[in-house]
Amino acid sequence: MDKIPMTAAGLKQLEDELRTLKDVERPAVVKAIGIAREHGDLKENAEYHAARERQSFIEGRLLELEAIISHSEVIDPSKLSGDVVRFGATVLLVDEETEEEKTYQIVGEHEADLKSGTISVGSPLARVMIGRSLGDSIEVKAPGGSKYYEIVKVDYK
């Protein structure tokens, strides 16, 4: 498996989730299974089946998180600089039609959250921006048609 680029904050978030699943969620579901078993017939015991389903989800997520964390490569954007967009860059874009400004930070796929202004390095917008420089105009193909943006600021925090 290839290395998975990610910021230190993204890695910490995944490690926190892993710790919560191991230390809180897993013991709670084991306890819930034990309580549900005491209720008798397991074939028709909805609590038991729900707890087993939850346990299955937790175990699967633990395996996924462990694999991601073991293959992660932390990149510190604060050690980067320049006007060229790369992983970790915080980019201010201006819509060339509406003059609306949008700011995005390019992060790893497992830490991206559009609501908080972070986009995956593999997203269509990030792929178009990477390698471009301050002042460049970019075209992003969207379902509603192409959108044109100008890169007005590139920052590495």
Do you know the residue count of the chain? 157
Per-residue pLDDT at 1: 62
Assign 42 a pLDDT band (cuts: 50, 70, 90): confident
pLDDT at residue 157, as a whole number: 83
State the Cα–Cα distance between residues 74 and 62, nearest whole angstrom.
20
Instruction: Find the largest Cα–Cα distance for the chain.
Output: 69
| Dihedral sign (CA 86, 4, 142, 101) | negative
Q: d(Cα 73, Cα 5) in Å, to the nearest integer?
A: 5
Mean of pLDDT values over 18-28: 97
pLDDT score recorded for residue 144? 85
Query: What structural domains does the chain harbor?
Result: 4-74 (1.10.287.180), 77-155 (3.10.50.30)
- Average pLDDT over the chain reads 93
- pLDDT for the residue 54: 96
State pLDDT tens for residues 92-147: 999 999 999 999 999 999 999 999 999 999 999 999 999 999 999 999 988 888 99
What's the predicted TM-score (pTM) here?
0.82
